[in-house]
Structure 1
Amino acid sequence: MSKLRILYLTSEIDPFLELSKIASLTRKLPQEMQERGMEIRILMPRFGTINERKNRLHEVVRLSGINISVGDEEKPLIIKVASIPSAKLQVYFLDNEDYFQRKTVFTDKQGTFYDDNDERAIFFCKGALETVKKLGWAPDVVHCTDWMTALVPLYLKTTYKNDPIFKNTKAVFTVYNNVFDHKFSEDIIPKAKMIDISDENLANLRSRDFSGLIKVGCEFADVIVKANDELREDIESIMEESSDKKIEALVEDENITDTFFNLYNELVDLEKVEE
């Protein structure tokens, strides 16, 4: 049998960037799954706080050079890669001069949420899927982590549903309590659009906020995962509306790797991955 292929999309991973407990979990899960025989890829944004020289990032020329549309604009995508020390794992970093070469991550030095964080998330979600296409690597499961990856399940179920790379891919969306109160501009929907996506597919984005992104991720994912014991009340309600496909895998749970190992295997029809 072929190995299960798991793609992790995250905004942070230890040791490159640690903003919350997500970073340690996204470091732990891929290594554990690889040690259990799965094939792993990890993608994240190349935020400006990540020191390229210290972490030995280098550009992957064969993957770079794609332009990603964000509304009416085309933004060049640069792909870099680095190895995780003490692990046989590589992380692919998605970079763009306009979006990621800043000295802070989601807020400026005064703590103000960046107005274009929606564009940065859209660019990352679209860019990640295009990068995987260019790799020619068909994932069985895409594990989407937190709000910045929320649009990926939607794109997989619409624009990419008949793509040979993604046609059998399942999406897992993990929801954390990393809430923000910012309201994005009204053009978030046209910026998020891709081929074969209707306004109705993006209806939950009309709120232009954190909960809207979470709603989209929950609507289109095959499984949604509650990662924090206590979520903000409105986010808890969103997850309860999708209770038929919700599981709990709390970030503090010492058995969390077993939970995800079993989940990935249950999601994939093993007969389809036989050679």
Structure 2
Amino acid sequence: MKILYATSEAVPFCKTGGLADVSGSLPAAVAAEGVQMAVVLPLYQRVREQFGKELEYLSYDYVNLAWRRCYCGLFRLLRDGVTYYFLDNEQYFNRRNLYGYMDDGERFGFFSRAVVRMLPHMAFWPDVIHCNDWQTALIPIYLKDDGVREARYRSIRTVMTIHNIEYQGRYGTEVVGDLFGLDHGWVDDGTIMMDGDVNLLKASILCTDAVTAVSPSYAEELKYAFFAHGMESVMRRCAYKLSGVLNGIDMKRYDPAKDKYLTANYTAEHLAGKAKDKAELQRMMALREEPDTPILAVVSRLVPHKGLDLIKEVFHDIMELPVQMVVLGQGDQQYQDFFAWAQTQYPGRMAVRLDYNEALSMAIYGGADLFLMPSKSEPCGLSQMIAMRYGTVPIVRETGGLKDTVQPYESWRDTGNGFTFAAYNSGDMLFVIRQAVGLYWDYGDQFRRLQQRCMAGDFSWKRSAGEYLRIYRSVTGQPGPAIPKEEPETKGAAAPAALGETPAEQEAPPKKEEEPEPMSETEDSPEMAGKPDQLKLVGKPDQPKLAAKPDQPKLGAKPDQPKLAGKPDQPKLVGKPDQPKLEEGTAQPAAKKTAARKVTQKKGPADQKEKSADKAKE
């Protein structure tokens, strides 16, 4: 099986967020399962500058995008068992940043178009193209559009992963033909339209063969308006092909025992190095060097859905606790202004860096004691996994991937790997922060065990790779590895007869001649109540099926007895007219155990007279 992973960013080449971490780790994990894996992404300026000498030039072609005819160069790089293809166009990608330009729609429209048209030059014809977010959302659409005219594209299946549904690729209707080169029919039938706008992500979800979200909880949340940003109806409509696969992290890259950014390395069994990293972090951030004071850390983009409003509401209450606080990130100006002001209010106890620095972020993960993520929504989240990997206990809101990865601490049985709260409420957040700080101060041994459980968690990509491999097989119809069939145990008992098999077809056990004939169960048996057509066969392999004889009356039905109303073929099982009912708890008289007689003979008049005489004596 061949998989082409299309993404707009991937570590170590280029990164702005969690998508790059996923794109840099998942393909290698899937390739380790024996799948041919390739990744295609734009050739950005920073990629050319850092990896230009390693790139191998393959070919070039011209890609038609509406009325434009655009140059596209193709480069290749082999790394960790994965082939990376880079699509070059300096007009679109030779820029300092990855996103944030007025022509982003045109830039990634070109990228999606080039992925499809450059396939013949890659010498890698995929069975599946795995797309990610709106930047690659046009790929399934172009495949279907081109597949009408070229049969070779019809064999390719597509998977779309939603990393954050908030970003959907929305534009005015005029761009369909002029910018993307699509027929207006995509607008007329509503495929590419959503609330009066062109919506690339919506069209891709409808056209792709499978849709995945980056955690099971997020996949369920996308069906509700609070999380889906207007796309809940589309997600419910496509629920049959939606699944959630939890992301992982690179366990080798994020390893406190080998991390080059740490002052001292450490393991779960020997945490002494973490104390040294804490002291170094306090010096770096100009905090008071207090080894026994817990450090509460926030490493995040400073945007609303990260739950920063909750921190603002109870910030002074947090700082009343015996705790120090560190914040690293950049984003909306309102949050940058707030944290810059907060630092001035608590010198020596509050430290802020309004940028993103990988070395500093790893120093924070290694040196902090608690990690705060009160997100309003969090599709998966990698920061909480990295924090746990470094023994920094997470405090999270139960949403998306945070709910799937952090289990609440329970002191009464000493379980869990973090602290959680469910409602988006600053009071609930403050409550669990107080719990965490209290555990650190008052129960050091339990807190250390909690750290060790965090570090013991398996957040590797192997599990996620297996889930994606199952999805690839389901959309392509290719079988997975053969599973050996377990033989049923037959010791001491014969295999049960198939449904509808007659007694003569069953292998009967040998019957001793001197053994008395066992009693068969008739309709008088209480075990047979409610089962009029089922006879329990006991040791009679040669007994024919009673219902198979058309001239044989049903048990208990006299020739002159009318059939029961509404149940023409069903005899009344209890309370026959000529047989008194037994009181509960009364033993069956021996004289009445004549039901064991073979019932192959018809009852004659003599039998009727004898029965009447017996009844009169009673």
Same-fold call, TM cutoff 0.5? yes
Percent of aligned positions that are identical: 22
Give 1:223 deviation, angstroms: 0.5
Question: Separation in 1 of the partners of 2:197 and 2:44?
Answer: 23
* Residues 1:169 and 2:377 aligned together: no
Paired residues of 1:80 and 1:94 also in contact (CA < 8 A): yes
Partner of 1:130: 117
Closer, same or farther: CA 149–181 of 1 in aligned 2, 3 Å: closer
User: Is contact 1:173-1:218 (8 Å) kept?
Assistant: yes
TM-fit CA distance, 1:19: 1.6
Which residues in structure 2 correspond to 1:194-233 (within 5 Å)?
Answer: 194=182, 198-200=186-188, 203-205=191-193, 207-208=196-197, 212-227=199-214, 229=218, 231-233=227-229
Alignment of 1:45-84 (within 5 A): 45-54=42-51, 56-58=53-55, 60-61=57-58, 63-64=59-60, 66-84=61-79
Give the stretch that moved more between structures: 92-101 or 224-233: 224-233
Give the counterpart of 2:108 among 105, 108, 121. Answer: 121
Call closer, same or farther: CA 1:250–1:213 in 2, change over 3 Å: farther
Q: Which of 158-167 and 18-27 deviates more?
A: 158-167
SS at match of 2:188: coil
Q: How does 1:1-275 map to 2 (within 5 A)?
A: 4-54=1-51, 56-58=53-55, 60-61=57-58, 63-64=59-60, 66-84=61-79, 87-107=80-100, 114-160=101-147, 163=150, 165-177=152-164, 179-180=166-167, 184=171, 186-190=173-177, 191-194=179-182, 198-200=186-188, 203-205=191-193, 207-208=196-197, 212-227=199-214, 229=218, 231-251=227-247, 252=380, 254=459, 255-270=463-478
More divergent stretch after superposition (189-198 vs 74-83) = 189-198
Question: In 1, Cα distance between the equivalents of 2:119 and 2:111?
Answer: 12
User: 1:111 aligns to what?
Assistant: none
User: Which whole-Å CA distance do the structure 1 matches of 2:189 and 2:464 have between them?
Assistant: 32
Separation in 2, partners of 1:91, 1:70: 24
Asked if 2 retains the 8 angstrom alpha-carbon contact of 1:139 and 1:166, the reply is no
Deviation at 1:195, TM superposition (A): 7.7
So what's the TM-score if we normalise by structure 2? 0.38
Cα distance in 2, alignment partners of residues 14 and 186 from structure 1: 34
AA in 2 matched with 1:92:
Y
Indicate conservation of the 8 Å contact 1:5/1:140, yes or no.
Answer: yes
> What is the letter of the counterpart of residue 32 of structure 1?
A
In 2, Cα distance between equivalents of 1:204 and 1:186: 9
User: Which one has a bigger Cα radius of gyration?
Assistant: 2
User: Quick one: distance in 2 between partners of 1:173 and 1:182?
Assistant: 14
Following TM superposition, by how much is the alpha carbon of 1:104 offset from its aligned partner in structure 2, in angstroms? 1.0
How big is the shift at 1:208? 4.4
Structure with bigger RCO (C-alpha 8 Å, 6+ apart): 1
Question: What is the SS of the residue equivalent to 1:148?
Answer: helix
- The 2-side partners of 1:46 and 1:20 are apart by 18
After superposition, the C-alpha distances for 1:228-260 in whole angstroms (9 at most, x for unaligned) are 526443234432221121111233474322210
Cα shift readout 1:63-122 (whole Å, capped 9, x = no counterpart): 31x1122221111111222233xx122211112121111111111xxxxxx221111111
Tell me the TM-score normalized by structure 1: 0.82
Q: CA 1:58/1:181 → structure 2, altered by over 3 Å: closer, same or farther?
A: closer
AA matched with 2:132 = T
> 5+ residue gaps in structure 1?
108-113
How many residue pairs match? The answer is 256
Aligned AA (1:257):
A
Contact 2:56/2:75, CA 8 A, preserved across alignment: yes
**Alpha carbons 1:9, 1:44 under 8 Å: kept:** yes
Q: Which ranges of structure 2 fall in alignment gaps of 5 or more residues?
A: 222-226, 248-379, 381-400, 402-458, 480-618
SS at the partner of 1:36? Answer: coil
1:181-215 Cα offsets, whole Å, 9 max, x none, are 98545532012235897543675247446xx1111
**Structure 2 CA distance for aligned equivalents of residues 185 and 233 of structure 1:** 18
Give per-residue Cα distances to partners, 1:110-146, cap 9 Å, x unaligned: xxxx221111111111101111122343211110011
- Contact in 2 for aligned 1:81/1:92 (Cα 8 Å): yes
**1:17–1:50: 8 Å Cα contact kept in structure 2?**
yes
Q: Is the 8 A contact 1:171 1:223 kept in 2?
A: yes
| Secondary structure in 2 matching 1:103 | coil
> How large is the RMSD of aligned CA atoms in angstroms?
2.7
Question: Given the superposition, is the C-alpha separation of residues 196 and 89 from structure 1 closer, same or farther in structure 2, using an over 3 Å criterion?
Answer: farther
SS in 2 for 1:167: helix
Question: Displacement, 1:219?
Answer: 0.8
Q: Secondary structure at the match of 1:264?
A: helix
Deviation at 1:179, TM superposition (A): 3.3
Structure having the larger proportion of residues in strand: 1
